[in-house]
Amino acid sequence: MPIVRIALDVPLPTLFDYEVDEPVSMGQRVLVEFRRRQQIGVVIEGAEKSDVPQDRIKQVIRVLKDCEPLSENLLKLLKFCSDYYHYPIGPTVLSALPTRLRADKPIVVKKRTGLRLVRDPSMLPARKMVARRIIDELAKRPCSPSELRRLAPTAGAQMKWLEKEGWIEPCELKESYSTPSVQLANAHTLTQEQQEAVDQVLQSKGFGCYLLHGITGSGKTEVYVHLMHRILERGGQILLLVPEINLTPQLEGYFQSRFPDVPLVSLHSGLSENARLENWQQAQAGEARIVLGTRLSVFAELPALSLIIVDEEHDGSFKQQDGLRYSARDVAIFRASQGGLPIVLGSATPSLESYHNAQIGRYRLIKLTQRAKAESRLPRMGCINVNQSVMTEGVSERLLGEIGSRISRGEQSLIFINRRGYAPVLMCTECGWMSDCRHCAGKMVLHLKDRKLRCHHCGSQQSIPSSCPGCGHAGLHPVGSGTQRVESLLQAKYPDARILRVDKDSTRNKHAWKQMREQIHANEVDILVGTQMLAKGHDFPALTLVGVLGADNALYSADFRAAERLFAQLMQVAGRAGRADKPGEVQIQTAFPDHPLFRCLKHHDFDSWASQLLSERKMAGFPPFVFQAMLRAEGKIESEVYAYLEKVRALAIALQREVEVFGVVPASLARRANHVRAQLLIQAQSRKVLQQFLRDWRIEEIPHARLHRSLDIDPMEF
């Protein structure tokens, strides 16, 4: 029987040989027995013979034909990820599939159903205006019910009436790959900069990586729309990557409104298993012309993929922090190179890696220096020196006064503090006891409304003690501020104001964030208090003031990327102010108003700040001038964790390669969920040298039975 090599979801860096007694395609799912239990695998390659003894080779139990095989291009992409990120091929391939495709239950491929016209529309009563619009649309072509519901609020009821009366009937929808005529709704006239950006990308012959560096409000999304329109007219598919799940519903609605005739699906972890499978299959079949999603959608099957867009390319959310620790942005660039197609990386504050690549000519730099709306101006940036200000629970009187003036003018204010809860820690004023987490090296955060202390690292929680557990003193006081404490202060200061808190706690319910956005757009909110959820991708016309609290925390960080992230975050949140015809203002509370970071922010000068950071990194020997890999280990016994890392460090030094092997150090959070955590950093001057070293390091030969270890290539967190 023929031999096939199969990827299985097991932590071993190899494929497994099986015999198969029927024709099978590469990329096809199969059911096999592995270690006395049945598993789903994916056929990666065939072989004439096997190194495994004949009597030990098992037979494929069943070839699954309920779904199309993975394409050759996707298999190549997954092999690249396995090789580059040094992660077993089986888990790499299986993790890219929707959960339903990893189970041994048969998949029912749903046929796409729609409606078609079956009677002469001229006989329809004239008073049925909505029904007439539905009929006119169906006269062009069969449509799905979801497309028709967008015509009017009562379209659903009218479709039922039309079907009951025999005007229309259900039918199967079959999409064609080509879309010769694509409607672009609400088309705007592009500015000269925007038009030049569109033309430059469209003139690309084959692969090209374009860094679209546009200030906030410069109309990067409109550039995306016009690029997508041209690609859709050519019959291509588009992959649009966004950093956060919270942005997908509103962007999905936005792009669907701009392309009402184009099938669009979203892919992210917030979807149900069935919904994700259905959307994935629509993309695989070529029916979905636009796929919008978070980092996992970079592995979507797209047979006619012609353009990739990575919005907010600098965002750390594109980096997976467990399992296959891939960067979706970097994988997307490789996928574009593999397919010979253009990719656009958009950001107001590009990552220093991308910015450096654009400076040296590896990427093509496109700049948008003006806001798209002529009446819109960049917000005025200022700093409030907390050392010279009267403060009330962490908020300066000056900032409170600015909020009051906005309320009187009917304008909105946003108070940005990237820390949820009431206060970061509860402390005893008598003995200095603090609310340490028993399971982590961090503190338990005070959530006053729930009367709980919660650890945001391991999830443990407990009731607020009535007295100090250390000395019994009753004087327990919150230290520092979170979103809940700021909300309470503002409610006390402005009792008649409509205040809305937006953070992970307040948006837990499924539709909460959608309802909040509607309130904000309807100007039913005076003051917004929120975390980074509000910092990116939102357009609130009535918002004219942004106040930033706690910005100095990042300046103390040991992470060399902290200042880069802070600048990007502040620039993004500042971009929420003054996006319409009203001038915007940003006030940042800081103890260091003369810090170079804040000086560049005041002038919206990303280029100067990036140049300064790149100079510092070049002198210090940090990325993008070097390439790094981080080996992390964690376990319940500290001595075992450090002994393991010291052994692999000795092995690295013994190889005598042109790499720098640093010492074993504790992780930034040295203990989490009762597990001790430590790490080992390897650094090289070239990517090729680092990759060759990692292949020869052979850390799997060092026993680590009771430890969890992970190798992170191009780490983003330290």
- Condensed to tens digits (0 to 9), the pLDDT of residues 559-598 reads 899 999 999 999 988 888 876 678 889 999 999 999 999 9
Residues of the chain with CATH 1.10.10: 113-172
Please choose, from the candidates 712, 637, 643, 626, the residue with its C-alpha nearest in 3D space to the C-alpha of residue 651: 643
Average pLDDT over residues 498-506: 91
Range ranked top by mean pLDDT from 92-101, 146-155, 551-560: 92-101
Q: What is the pLDDT of residue 111?
A: 65
Q: What is the pLDDT of residue 576?
A: 81
Q: Provide CATH code, domain 3-102.
A: 3.40.1440.60
Find tokens 């502040």 and name the residue.
570
**pLDDT tier, 109 (very low <50, low <70, confident <90, very high otherwise):** low
Give the type of residue at 535: A
Q: What is the pLDDT of residue 346?
A: 96
CB 384 within 8 A of CB 399: yes
What are the tens digits of pLDDT across the range 443-467? Answer: 999 998 888 999 999 999 999 998 9
Please choose, from the candidates 676, 675, 673, 677, the residue with its C-alpha nearest in 3D space to the C-alpha of residue 460: 673
Give one DSSP letter per residue of 88-135, joined into a string: -HHHHHHHTS-GGGGSSSPP--PPPEEEEE-S-GGGS-TT-HHHHHHH
Average pLDDT over residues 265-279: 89
> Across the strands, what pairs with 709?
633
What are the tens digits of pLDDT across the range 469-492? Answer: 989 998 899 998 899 999 999 999
275 versus 691: which is more confidently predicted? 691
- How far apart (Å, rounded) are the C-alpha atoms in residues 244 and 626? 29
Please choose, from the candidates 492, 484, 497, the residue with its C-alpha nearest in 3D space to the C-alpha of residue 413: 497
**Phi, psi (deg, nearest 5) at residue 46:** -105, 165
Q: What is the pLDDT of residue 505?
A: 86
Comparing 506-510, 670-674, 713-717, which segment has the lowest mean pLDDT?
Answer: 506-510
Beta strand residue intervals within 536-674, DSSP E: 543-548, 585-590, 627-635, 659-661, 665-672
Please choose, from the candidates 420, 427, 508, the residue with its C-alpha nearest in 3D space to the C-alpha of residue 464: 427
Mean pLDDT of the chain: 90
Question: Quick one: the chain helix, strand, coil %, rounded to 5?
Answer: 35, 25, 40
Average pLDDT over residues 643-664: 96
- How far apart (Å, rounded) are the C-alpha atoms in residues 206 and 199? 15
Q: What is the pLDDT of residue 438?
A: 92
Helix or strand holding residue 276 (H, E): helix 273-284
Average pLDDT over residues 114-126: 83
pLDDT at 704 over 90: no
Average pLDDT over residues 233-243: 94
Q: Strands 290-293, 264-267: parallel, antiparallel or unpaired by DSSP? A: parallel
Find tokens 């799940």 and name the residue.
245
DSSP reduced 3-state for 66: coil
**pLDDT tier, 534 (very low <50, low <70, confident <90, very high otherwise):** confident
Give the type of residue at 430: E
The proportion of the chain whose per-residue pLDDT surpasses 90, expressed as a percent, equals 63
pTM (global) more than 0.75: yes
Residues of the chain with CATH 3.40.1440.60: 3-102
Q: Strands 342-347, 305-311: parallel, antiparallel or unpaired by DSSP? A: parallel
What are the tens digits of pLDDT across the range 8-49? Answer: 999 988 999 999 988 899 999 999 999 889 999 999 999 888
What are the tens digits of pLDDT across the range 315-345? Answer: 999 999 999 999 999 999 999 999 999 999 9
**Phi, psi (deg, nearest 5) at residue 201:** -70, -40
Q: What is the pLDDT of residue 287?
A: 85
**pLDDT tier, 177 (very low <50, low <70, confident <90, very high otherwise):** very low
CA distances from 613 to 312, 314, 597, 600, 715 (A): 20, 15, 10, 12, 18
Q: Provide CATH code, domain 113-172.
A: 1.10.10
pLDDT at 142 over 90: no
What are the tens digits of pLDDT across the range 346-400? Answer: 999 999 999 999 999 999 999 998 877 766 678 899 999 999 999 998 899 999 9
Q: What is the pLDDT of residue 261?
A: 81
CATH 3.40.640.10 fits 380-423+480-614, yes or no: no
Average pLDDT over residues 51-75: 91
Residues of the chain with CATH 3.40.50.300: 192-368, 380-423+480-614
CATH 3.90.1010.10 fits 192-368, yes or no: no
- How far apart (Å, rounded) are the C-alpha atoms in residues 53 and 394? 71
pLDDT at 674 over 90: yes
Per CATH, the architecture of 627-713 is what? Answer: 2-Layer Sandwich (3.30)
- How far apart (Å, rounded) are the C-alpha atoms in residues 89 and 82? 5
261's tokens: 């005739």
What are the tens digits of pLDDT across the range 402-454? Answer: 999 999 999 999 999 988 888 899 999 889 899 999 999 999 999 988 889 99
Give the type of residue at 206: G
Residues of the chain with CATH 3.30.70.600: 627-713
CB 364 within 8 A of CB 340: no
DSSP reduced 3-state for 615: helix
What are the tens digits of pLDDT across the range 619-642? Answer: 999 999 999 999 999 999 999 999
